[in-house]
Structure 1
Amino acid sequence: MSQKLKQFFLILGIFSSFPSIIVAQETTEEVAPPDHIKTIQLFGSEEFSGTPILKLGDPLTIRFDDINGDEVDYYYKITYYNFDWTPSPLYKNEYLNGFDDIRIVNYENSFNTLQMYSHYTLRIPNEDTRGLKVSGNYMIEIYDDDGEIVFSRKFIVYENLTNVKVYTKRSRDLKFIDTRQSVQFEISSPNEILKNPKRNVKTLVIQNNDLKNAITDLIPQFTVANNLVYKYDTESSFWAGNEFLFFDNKEVRSPTANIRGIDLRDIYHNYLYTDVVRGNRIYTYYPDINGSFVVRNLRAENSNTEADYVWMHFALQCYEPLDGGEIHLFGNFNNYITDESTRLTYDQENGIYTGKKLFKQGFNNYKYVLVRPDGTIDPGFISGNFDETENEYVVIPYYRAPGARYDRAIGKGMGNSRNITN
């Protein structure tokens, strides 16, 4: 057999005496935006920032700012993926009603702001992209005139075919009973038999809209009639964390919640009170929005174009040894990404860690995490882990029927740890 023929068979997943070999495909990750793209919001019917999980047929909206403010043309593409974010075999016309690869025509320049920016809005359906045909995993890519991807974001579309009940439990392992939360759930399918569920049903368990930290490898432990039961402990557990910290600068000209000082240079600078390590303190409850953010300007009629950008200055008092790690800001304000813009540096003169980042006016949640030398994130190093912490959990079941070519998202279940039980 020639080398070229062998390569051809390998692509088909068939080679020599191993006909069942399937070529491994790489999972697709989101492309982080450049520095001049800010405040990306992707949402469905409810305007709430994060990875949107919307019902099939509901609208999708994406907003973002370009602080270069030069009215650059941006375009969008929509791609469908398998459950594990590997490329799907579906053709575009099988999952998309209409066309993509279209320029975003709805944009406005900022008004009455010190920081100039162009605000872009894309709504689907529109006259070119009339809607999505199937449920499952999607990625929207924003790219420029040169065909280069500027950034991309994932979103999930589901069908209401199952009922998903979600429960939050304390860990049964005494070592983690005060620090971890386990997610247990049941999937009932009253109208459709889910054949061979241990093979064909996959589940996605998300904490606080952080898709990067989701659990994806659970299979049903047992079946009762048409109910699939998942009563895992360790396998479905998350670090409980602590409530997110917050600041609210909807009125940028005067100190508000958690802001101790204001300075006006080229644009406004807001200085937060110094935060402390909470891991060694008693847990204290206060409301948060689980890592998310809301854009708003108290003096504006339209906060999308009238909310200004502010340099937020953070300070953290931490005497814990980092062992080569780095302290970073963490939250949905940048899709839970840690990079150079989120890193805090040590101020030796004052004995604190400091950092600054550009935020659009509004209500923002954040916390501090330790990024270890190997790149792993320790979410409880600064904040601590407390089983009383209020966290939101979402469970999405997927089903690929025998002979089907794609993974349908067949439901959505939600639970909250404020109702945690033993």
Structure 2
Amino acid sequence: MRISRFASLLLLATACVPLGTPITSTSPAATGTQKAPEYYADKTLRYQDYTYSPDVRSVQCYVATGQPNEVFQPPVVPLGRSQAITLEFDVLGEQSQRYTAKLIHCDANWQPSVLTDMQFLSEINEFLVTDYRVGINTKVPYFHYRLRAPGVKLSGNYLLVVQSPGSVPLVSRRLLVYENQVQVALKPGIVIGGAERYTLQQLDFGIGYSSVNLVNPMSEVKVVLRQNFRWDNAKYNLRPTFVRDAERRLEYQYFGFENAFPGLSEYRFFDTRSVQAAGIGVLRIDPQATPVAATLQPEASRAKQAYNQYQDANGQRVFESREFGNGDTNADYVDVTFQLKAEQPAPGPVYVLGALTDWQLKDEFKLTYDEGKQLYTGHALLKQGYYNYSFAVGAARGAAPNEVYFEGSHQETENQYDLLVYYRPPGTRADLLIGYQTVGVNNRQ
């Protein structure tokens, strides 16, 4: 699931097919007639990537590099570059609002730390969001907002929170600021097992600390291993299996797949960058509907299919309008209908999953099963663009979604992985992010 050559994919010509049967939109955000999903009912601040209002759409948090694919860069920067992290989002409606932002320093477990603002910031911890523009000639009115994260003094975990008047949270995003005090060796490994070697991807790693004095590293060093920069299925509480004091090195060698992930499949995709003709993955589009309606091609389970290699964007998406360019303000919103063929219901609720859902099982992306048609369907209001997504079955509370049920799993799939290394020096009150490294598995160069 590689993004390095994604720019070439964006240049594919949109397929032209006849327009299909009109679809009547019933999106709550579009019509304003339905009750907001329960997901948005609780406005309590969560220390995670979260959207607190159904009017907030198309949130992107990335590192501004000036390159074409910068929106795919996760909000992870070395100390001294935190101001490069950019947050963008839309708010549906015809009136702009006054929003402020603040930064919350968190510990390694994403709980607020005891540090005062001035211990990690050099300015007042309240930032007025002044960069906003109105959507131009769109059927769904919205305002597009953008802000840069402030500079910070310490490495570690931060939560960037945008608030509406009354300190009601609107959107929150996790940011990572690191410093390479230790030497992280992260590399693809070989799965030792039976059938697992065909479906899992293992990451082997070690940490060298010759240049820094770590006190009791066996218990004080914490690591987090992520796939495609996701938090929902990350590996936590991985403890070193060996501490080599003479070499000043921590070894992490496991035999129970603690450091392995399902490889899954390359992500499904669709293209709604044009509202005049159906793009790739789109069955039909109705530009006369308000909002524009698009029905995607019926998909099927890939659980028993062979691996299929193609270029994807690791579950991400990019906003763009083919007719007018500049996806920030010229892209309209489309009522997208998802379709998934299934001979029988799954063993749990089925959702669309990806960056378009904040990697969460949201009510508005839940699919409904029609036993007569043997078809799951659901729809969501999405900004024009190119999207990656998967189908996932909801698991028990607190467990990662089950993507393998519909997507299958292959060790040949391209994925990105990163390792976060935390340490709290004795006598201090902050968990520092002292090491960070990324590695690609099955990179397509």
Q: Give the TM-score band, short-chain normalised.
A: 0.7 to 0.9
**C-alpha contact (below 8 Å) 2:138/2:332 kept by paired residues:** yes
Alpha-carbon distance in structure 2 between the residues aligned to 1:386 and 1:113:
41
Q: 2:218 aligns with which of 185, 194, 198?
A: 198
- Residue-by-residue CA offset, 1:54-105 (whole Å, 9 max, x unaligned): 1112222110000123101111111001101122121110011212223211
CA-CA distance at 1:175 after TM superposition: 4.5
Are residues 251 and 190 of structure 1, via their aligned partners in 2, closer, same or farther at CA, if it must alter by over 3 Å?
A: farther
Alpha-carbon distance in structure 1 between the residues aligned to 2:345 and 2:278:
33
Which residue does the alignment assign to 1:38? 57
- Residue-by-residue CA offset, 1:147-205 (whole Å, 9 max, x unaligned): 21122111111113233221222431324222222211122335323332112211111
Which residue does the alignment assign to 1:4? none
**C-alpha contact (below 8 Å) 1:184/1:230 kept by paired residues:** yes
Which residue does the alignment assign to 1:180? 200
CA-CA distance at 1:260 after TM superposition: 1.9
Q: How does 1:139-154 map to 2 (within 5 A)?
A: 139-154=159-174
- Residue-by-residue CA offset, 1:90-130 (whole Å, 9 max, x unaligned): 111001121222321111101122221000111134xxxxx
Q: Secondary structure at the match of 1:98?
A: coil
- Residue-by-residue CA offset, 1:271-317 (whole Å, 9 max, x unaligned): 21110000011111111111111112223342211111111111111
Which residue does the alignment assign to 1:412? 436
Alpha-carbon distance in structure 1 between the residues aligned to 2:181 and 2:50:
32
Are residues 31 and 256 of structure 1, via their aligned partners in 2, closer, same or farther at CA, if it must alter by over 3 Å?
A: closer
Q: Secondary structure at the match of 1:87?
A: coil
Q: Secondary structure at the match of 1:306?
A: coil
Alpha-carbon distance in structure 2 between the residues aligned to 1:175 and 1:260:
37
Are residues 96 and 68 of structure 1, via their aligned partners in 2, closer, same or farther at CA, if it must alter by over 3 Å?
A: same
Normalized against structure 1, the TM-score is what? 0.87
Which residue does the alignment assign to 1:246? 269
Over the aligned positions, Cα root-mean-square deviation in angstroms equals 2.1
Alpha-carbon distance in structure 2 between the residues aligned to 1:374 and 1:57:
38
Alpha-carbon distance in structure 2 between the residues aligned to 1:334 and 1:157:
24
Rg larger for:
1
**C-alpha contact (below 8 Å) 2:49/2:358 kept by paired residues:** no
Amino acid at match of 1:226: R
CA-CA distance at 1:145 after TM superposition: 0.8
Instruction: Give identity over the alignment, percent.
Output: 29
CA-CA distance at 1:39 after TM superposition: 0.6
Alignment of 1:356 with 2:379, yes or no, is yes
Q: Secondary structure at the match of 1:211?
A: coil
Q: 1:322 aligns with which of 339, 346, 349?
A: 346
Which residue does the alignment assign to 2:42? none
Which residue does the alignment assign to 1:228? 250
Amino acid at match of 2:88: R
Q: Secondary structure at the match of 1:48?
A: helix
Amino acid at match of 2:143: S
RCO higher in structure (CA 8 A, sep ≥6): 2
Which residue does the alignment assign to 1:138? 158
**C-alpha contact (below 8 Å) 1:50/1:209 kept by paired residues:** no
Alpha-carbon distance in structure 1 between the residues aligned to 2:396 and 2:49:
23
- After superposing on structure 2, the runs of 4+ consecutive aligned residues of structure 1 that deviate more than 6 Å are none
Q: How does 1:231-310 map to 2 (within 5 A)?
A: 231-233=253-255, 234-264=257-287, 265-310=289-334
Q: 1:163 aligns with which of 158, 163, 183?
A: 183
Moved more, 240-249 or 227-236: 227-236
**C-alpha contact (below 8 Å) 2:345/2:369 kept by paired residues:** no
Alpha-carbon distance in structure 2 between the residues aligned to 1:49 and 1:258:
21
Alignment of 1:97 with 2:122, yes or no, is yes
**C-alpha contact (below 8 Å) 2:344/2:371 kept by paired residues:** no
Alignment of 1:387 with 2:408, yes or no, is no
Amino acid at match of 1:104: V
Normalized against structure 2, the TM-score is what? 0.82
Q: Secondary structure at the match of 1:198?
A: helix
Q: Secondary structure at the match of 1:305?
A: coil
**C-alpha contact (below 8 Å) 2:204/2:259 kept by paired residues:** yes
Which residue does the alignment assign to 1:10? none
Alignment of 1:398 with 2:422, yes or no, is yes
Are residues 145 and 50 of structure 1, via their aligned partners in 2, closer, same or farther at CA, if it must alter by over 3 Å?
A: farther
- Residue-by-residue CA offset, 1:255-277 (whole Å, 9 max, x unaligned): 22111211121121122111000
**C-alpha contact (below 8 Å) 1:243/1:285 kept by paired residues:** yes
